[in-house]
Structure 1
Amino acid sequence: MDLDLHQLFVFTKVVEHKSFSKAAEDIFLSQSTVSSHIHGLEKSLNLQLFDRIGREIILTPHGERLYQWALKLLLLKDQAIMDLKQGLTKLRGMIRIAASSVPGEFMLPKMVKEFRELYPDIIFHIDQASSKNVAEKVLNGSVDLGILGEKYANEKLCYIPIFKEKLVLVTSKQVDISGPVQIQDILHLPFVMRSSDSGTNAILERFLKKKHITKDQLNIIAYIEDGQSLMQFVVQDVAISILSEIAAREYQRLNMLEMHEICDFDDERFFYLVYNVQKTQSIFSKLFIDYAPELIKK
């Protein structure tokens, strides 16, 4: 019985992508080469690692156990190489991050900049998704870690708070509103909302429930996934919105919209870095996790 580290690497990519073709695309190999590596690994171990059900591939119990060992072995290899080459060559690697819209647009660029000052040869692969989808990507292993504005309870997920903020009302320059506003006084105005899977929307729904207001009482004209598109609806005086202060402040600084506090809406929220405790992180991802709270403060 023999374990080939390259075959194990290919195996982990197939597991994480749940697809031979997507794994092949990720690591720049042909699908037939990926299939050959997996077949060779199964043959050398005399074990079946995947069940092929139609077009789907599902890990067998042996495959699940091997995946955990493969992650540990590949991490050990990375650590050994880094230790041997420390000070002789540059530390290279890739970190895969999924981020919800606000941290993806307004926090992650700064964090990447600060991290690359320490490790200039690290490459980032960044997916932008709703907070719920970020959590799902971290759970299924398609990314190393995530940054999001809402917690989704799961024993496999570990959350590290890295930034605190609140939500505010934003309007165009044409809307005549001054001072902190009562939520009841703006229910008639056209609203544009984030998608239901966003952390912003989850916080807003909790506030409305506390005020005994249903979403049906809001004059909602559109739900928008993309944060920049939503901002344009506000800037163009199509609708008002309630969203992240960190995002709104950038547009206010450019004199493109007005920002207002909402009475009694003082619930602060955290943005979190989240990772899967059952996924053995690469040395690069582990470094980013350890530094994350400091990266956003600099």
Structure 2
Amino acid sequence: MIKLEQYKIFNEAASTLSFSKAAKNLFISQSAVSQTIHALEKELNTQLFIRLNKGVTLTKEGMLLHKNITEALALITSVENELSHYNELLSGQLNIGAGDSICENYLIDLLKQFHHLYPTIKINVVNGTSIETVEHLKNGTIDLAFINLPYDDESLVLKECLTIHDIFISKKKDEHLYTYQEISKKNLILLEKSSNSRNYIDKYFAKHGILLKPEMELGAHHLLLEFTHANLGNACVVKEFSHDFLDKNKVYELKLKKPLPSRSIGYGYLKRRSLSQATLKFIELIDQFDKSI
């Protein structure tokens, strides 16, 4: 059976029309080149070279083989380089999915760092709720999903990357310590029920025998802040994503007698799907990043 290395030796000899030059260029002996060519001609049952006093020349069959082997080796080299580039992150694509608030308040800094380290990697971000993001993950649109935890799905590998705290806010400063029952009677503004964050809050209050009945349901976290600032109600928001409004006293946190427990944002990927080099490098960056903001 002819091996690729034999064709490489043949191709060098055919290019230089000299067994000695081919041997020198390949850092092997001239006898090794001669033996390889002889074995190749025997295997193909075809004479490839005409031996002359000074060097060699190709037969018609040799020229045909040389033309095709040159193209084949160029293709192999191209593929090897492409694979090397992927491994070295000189090319490729990072496909991730996340909600708007996670993108704005967490992912932007990570993506800036990643782009600085690997500027030739194309970054594609798909926006959606946690449920929608997992759907994108399963249909192959993205390779990595950022979702609100807890999230129960045995097909995913899930890892925490950021600790967050849910709070209730008001337009006006209020020193009263609220019970859960008292908060439930406020004019509430919550995210839509398609949101995993909303589901978490509903379930938590339900465990305490309280059914939340918001006056308004919105589709984006930043709207919760804007609507509260407009004095349209009291919203439940993520404290870590609300610093701009809280620090500027646009809204105020309503204190609870028993603060809501912290939860996490995490990233997930499918257990049975291999990850690209770009995705693996991005995960390395996530794991180095501070888990609180």
TM over 0.5: yes
Alignment CA distance shift 1:78-1:177 (3 Å): farther
Structure 2 gap segments, 5+ residues each: 1-78
Read off the aligned partner of 2:273 and give its amino acid letter.
Answer: K
Match of 2:182, SS state, is helix
Alignment CA distance shift 1:77-1:188 (3 Å): farther
Once the 2 structures are TM-superposed, how far is the Cα of residue 79 of structure 1 from its aligned partner? 4.1
- 1:92: which partner in 2? 91
The separation in 2 between residues aligned to 1:92 and 1:179, in whole angstroms, is: 56
Read off the aligned partner of 1:208 and give its amino acid letter.
Answer: F
TM-score (structure 1 length as normaliser): 0.65
TM-score (structure 2 length as normaliser): 0.66
- 1:116: which partner in 2? 115
1:184 to 181, 186, 190: 181
The separation in 2 between residues aligned to 1:282 and 1:78, in whole angstroms, is: 14
Alignment CA distance shift 1:114-1:260 (3 Å): farther
1:261 to 236, 255, 263: 255
Match of 2:158, SS state, is strand
RMSD: 2.4
The answer on whether the counterparts of 1:110 and 1:295 sit within 8 Å (CA) in structure 2 is no
Matches within 5 A, 1:144-163: 144-163=143-162
Structure 1 gap segments, 5+ residues each: 1-74
Read off the aligned partner of 1:203 and give its amino acid letter.
Answer: Y
Alignment CA distance shift 1:98-1:77 (3 Å): farther
The answer on whether the counterparts of 1:172 and 1:235 sit within 8 Å (CA) in structure 2 is yes
Read off the aligned partner of 2:253 and give its amino acid letter.
Answer: M
Read off the aligned partner of 2:204 and give its amino acid letter.
Answer: F
Alignment CA distance shift 1:260-1:293 (3 Å): farther
- 2:288: which partner in 1? 294
The separation in 2 between residues aligned to 1:210 and 1:180, in whole angstroms, is: 20
The answer on whether the counterparts of 2:184 and 2:211 sit within 8 Å (CA) in structure 1 is no
- 1:197: which partner in 2? 194
Once the 2 structures are TM-superposed, how far is the Cα of residue 274 of structure 1 from its aligned partner? 0.8
- 2:276: which partner in 1? 282
Which is further off, 269-278 or 150-159?
A: 150-159
Match of 1:107, SS state, is helix
User: 1:214 and 2:211 equivalent?
Assistant: yes
The separation in 1 between residues aligned to 2:188 and 2:138, in whole angstroms, is: 33
Aligned length in residues: 214
Alignment CA distance shift 1:266-1:223 (3 Å): closer
Deviation string 1:239-270 (CA, Å, 9 cap, x unpaired) is 11112111122211232111233222331101
The answer on whether the counterparts of 1:167 and 1:243 sit within 8 Å (CA) in structure 2 is yes
